[in-house]
Every structure is written in structure tokens, then in C-alpha cells.
């Protein structure tokens, strides 16, 4: 069935700083690939007619990556001044003429065949959570969404909206978003997608839910490492190097140079990284990073960062340098 997709990817990624000072959040690598690459890998088998990506600062880098790596009809629209997820999705409205729309958040990987959502029903992905105050929450009437609220103080449900949405007719969605923006209806200072969905429900639009088993958040360093662990467990890749022990699961780019080290488990190493005489586990080492004589766990090393000496846990941005005596 024909449909178009929207990927809001303009978020600043404040919780992932310092890494997002140099790169947009969706281009941070996990399990050997940028976050948005994992999203595209799950979207493209559903055969969208077009993918509209909403970008902010460093949007040119997102555009370059997607055009280079994916054979797809892309459109890019800029959200210069982020005003919430509802505003981000609405930026794509000019490219729609009533056809179905799928919305996939750019900082969330939903491990699902997206073709399963494409059909006649309006559907949003949900998952039971222990801390519903942190999320958009839905209340159901049977199988239908009755209420949806953004981060309620006293939630009446633990079903969180997990960042994947499909609407059979985009007119209802963009109409609700347009009303919010025209009337300047904000929640916590932003135009919320959840408010638009509640407006649709109030107007009689039937929205159903799809339970999502694997919802992979990439919004914090801890979440990024947890997502790295999960994805590596499904797709381990490396080639043996003389003098180095690999403890699976790991991902090691073919161009990475590793000598006299122990790597893994749960480690991703990017292109042209260099690692000498080190032990690394549960970490992400990005492209062209240099690690020498180090002991690292639960660490994020940015592109072209340098670590020399024995340390334990690091969150080091791109182009940074740390040497221990």
C-alpha cells in the first residue's frame, strides 16, 4: 500500500552532549551504524513512496549520509527553532495530499517490520513501562485509544507511546496539528504531537495500538550503550586480528587497526579506529579514535578522540584528547 514517511530528526540531543556539539543526534553510531541508518533499514522494506526528514542544525550532514547510503526519494525540511514534536511533524505537511503517513522518531529504534503497520487502520506503537510519568501515555477503551497525554503527573495507564505512528489519512493528522499551531495551544511550552492525537480522538477518529516488544531508546549515553548491546546481540561482525581476543558480541569495522588487545563483549569499533594494548568492553569507539594502554568500560569515545593511559569509564566527545600519566 502506498504511503509516505516522516522522520523528525531536528532534536538537539542535549542529554548526549558533548557528542552532539559536533554531530546531530541521529548520526551518532550504535552497533556500527548511525541511529537513523538503523531506522531506515527497518523502514525501507515497507517501500515508502517518499521519506521526509525534518532536520535542524547540522542538517546537511544528515542529508549527505542518507543520500549516500540509501536509494530512496528523500525530502528535507528545516526546523530552525524547535517548538516540539508536533511542530516538527507539521513541517512536512506541504508534501502530503491526504495519503497515508508513517511517523518514526529519529532518536528511537523500534525493532519491528514496519510493513506490519501499513494498512487501513490508524495505529500507534505502545509498550508497558515502569515510569509512565516520563512518556506520552495512552488510555484505552477496549482496543481503541480513548485518552493520550504527554508526561502526565498522575498517569492512569502505563502504556507509553514509543515513537512509531501510522495514519491511513494524513489530512486528519495535519489538520489537528494546524489547529494547535494556529491557536497556539502548547503543553510545557511546545506543540505536542500527543495533543494533536487527542484532538483527533475527540473528533471521532479511531486510533488503535500495536504492542511493541523491543523499543530502543538512544537519548542518553546509558540508553545508547543499552541499545548497542541489544543490536550487537542480533548482528555480530568482526574479522580476527593477530594478537587480539574478541569476546562476542562485537562489531569491528574492517578498517579498524587493533593490536594486542581484548575487545568485548558488547563493543562497537568504527572505521579507521586504532587500538593498541587495551582492554575494552561494553563501549562504543567511533571512527578514527585512538586508544592506547587503556582499560575502558561503559564508555563512549567520539570521532578522532584520543585516549592514552589506564582509565575506567569515559564519555569523550569527538576531537577530544585524554592522556593519563
pLDDT at residue 322, rounded to an integer = 65
pLDDT at residue 34, rounded to an integer = 94
**For residue 18, cis peptide bond before it (omega within 30 degrees of 0):** yes
pLDDT at residue 75, rounded to an integer = 95
**Confidence band of 295 (pLDDT split at 50, 70, 90):** very high
What is the value of pTM for the model shown?
0.91
pLDDT at residue 321, rounded to an integer = 59
pLDDT at residue 275, rounded to an integer = 97
Mean pLDDT of 140-155: 84
**The pLDDT of residue 22 is above 80:** no
What per-residue string of b and e applies to 181-214 under the rule 16 or more CB within 10 Å gives b? beeeebeeebbbbbbbbbbbbeeebebebbebee
pLDDT by residue (tens digit) across 196-211?
Answer: 999 999 999 999 998 8
Mean pLDDT of 300-309: 89
pLDDT at residue 82, rounded to an integer = 80
- 27 with 19: CB under 8 angstroms? no
pLDDT at residue 130, rounded to an integer = 83
Question: Which stretch of DSSP H or E encloses residue 101?
Answer: strand 101-104
What is the set of domains in the chain, with CATH numbers?
4-217 (3.90.550.10), 236-323 (2.160.10.10)
Amino acid at each position: 500500500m502506498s504511503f509516505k514517511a516522516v522522520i523528525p530528526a531536528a532534536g538537539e540531543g542535549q542529554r548526549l552532549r558533548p557528542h552532539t556539539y559536533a554531530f546531530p543526534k541521529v548520526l551518532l553510531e550504535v552497533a556500527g551504524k548511525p541511529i537513523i541508518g538503523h531506522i531506515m533499514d527497518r523502514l525501507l522494506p515497507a517501500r515508502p513512496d517518499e521519506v521526509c526528514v525534518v532536520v535542524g542544525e547540522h542538517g546537511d550532514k544528515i542529508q549527505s549520509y542518507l543520500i549516500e547510503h540509501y536509494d530512496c526519494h528523500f525530502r528535507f525540511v528545516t526546523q530552525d527553532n524547535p517548538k516540539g514534536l508536533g511542530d516538527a511533524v507539521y513541517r512536512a505537511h506541504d508534501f502530503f495530499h491526504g495519503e497515508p503517513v508513517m511517523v518514526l522518531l529519529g532518536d528511537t529504534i523500534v525493532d519491528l517490520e514496519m510493513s506490519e503497520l501499513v494498512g487501513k487502520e490508524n495505529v500507534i506503537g505502545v509498550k508497558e513501562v515502569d515510569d509512565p510519568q516520563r512518556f506520552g501515555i495512552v488510555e484505552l477503551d477496549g482496543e481503541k485509544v480513548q485518552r493520550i497525554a504527554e508526561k502526565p503527573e498522575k498517569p492512569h495507564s502505563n502504556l507509553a507511546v514509543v515513537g512509531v505512528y501510522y495514519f491511513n489519512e494524513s489530512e486528519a493528522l495535519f489538520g489537528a496539528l494546524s489547529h494547535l499551531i494556529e491557536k497556539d495551544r502548547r503543553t510545557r511550552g511546545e506543540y505536542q504531537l500527543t495533543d494533536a492525537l487527542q484532538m483527533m480522538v475527540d473528533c471521532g477518529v479511531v486510533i488503535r495500538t500495536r504492542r511493541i516488544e523491543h523499543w530502543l531508546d538512544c537519548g542518553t549515553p546509558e540508553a545508547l550503550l543499552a541499545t548497542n548491546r541489544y543490536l550487537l546481540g542480533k548482528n555480530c561482525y568482526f574479522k580476527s586480528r593477530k594478537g587480539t581476543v574478541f569476546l562476542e558480541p562485537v562489531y569491528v569495522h574492517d578498517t579498524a587497526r587493533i593490536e594486542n588487545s581484548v575487545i568485548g563483549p558488547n563493543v562497537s569499533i568504527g572505521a579507521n579506529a586504532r587500538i593498541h594494548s587495551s582492554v575494552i568492553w561494553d563501549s562504543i569507539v567511533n571512527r578514527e579514535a585512538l586508544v592506547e594502554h587503556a582499560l575502558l568500560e561503559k564508555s563512549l569515545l567520539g570521532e578522532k578522540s584520543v585516549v592514552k593511559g589506564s582509565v575506567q569509564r569515559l564519555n569523550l566527545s569527538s576531537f577530544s584528547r585524554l592522556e593519563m600519566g
